Amino acid sequence: MKEKKKYWTLFLSVMQLSAFTFGGGFVIIPLMRKKFVEKLHWLDEQEMLDLTAIAQSSPGAIAVNASILVGYRVAGVPGALLTVAGTILPPLVIIAVISMFYTAFRDNVFVGMAMNGMLAAVAAVICDVVLSMGRTVLQDRKLLYAGLMAGCFLASEWFQVNILLLLVVCGAAGAADVLHERRKERLA
């Protein structure tokens, strides 16, 4: 019975987040963190940070990727299936309803104003993600990762370096760091 309640809580949590979140994956991630790390304590901060990194680097929608990973981590394959359903069901219903009344929504001044207001909120939430998750990286004394993050931003934005090259460099740096940490542990 306890397992059934966990599945139900997992499904309803992601469904609620998906139904009432505007702005995509970068907005839903901090809300998932708040729900699964701070409220339910099903994940710790580092796990959420790792799952977010994997979700962002995987093909597909970040919100769906993150929900799959969180669901799998919390409740295995059934959890992953439940979180996918909970994540895609609300947008599917909302888009179906909007498509039936597309012309009315498109031309409505109030809908346009609401959407513009949501853009400001999305920007604020994305800044919160960067600050809260960036703080975790810096607290772990991983200045290498903070430097890589800043370097990749500069290389991509100002010098138009190919993203694939940046991914390879970051992957190599992460692998080298893990190998270095393991060697230190063996020597200690």
The pLDDT profile of the chain, 188 residues, written as one tens digit per residue, is 688 899 999 999 999 999 988 777 778 888 898 999 999 999 998 899 888 888 888 888 888 999 999 999 999 999 999 999 999 999 999 888 888 887 777 778 888 888 788 878 777 877 877 777 777 666 665 677 778 888 998 999 999 999 899 989 988 988 888 898 889 888 87
Check if the beta carbon of residue 118 is closer than 8 Å to that of residue 23.
yes
Q: What is the Cα–Cα distance from 188 to 185, expressed in whole angstroms?
A: 5
pLDDT of residue 123: 79
pLDDT of residue 50: 87
Distance of CA 20 to the CA centre of its chain: 15
Check if the beta carbon of residue 7 is closer than 8 Å to that of residue 75.
yes
Structure token pair of residue 89:
């069901």
Q: Give pTM, 2 decimals.
A: 0.61
Q: What is the Cα–Cα distance from 2 to 185, expressed in whole angstroms?
A: 39
Q: What is the Cα–Cα distance from 185 to 13, expressed in whole angstroms?
A: 39
Kindly state the helix (H) or strand (E) to which residue 143 belongs, with its residue range.
helix 143-157
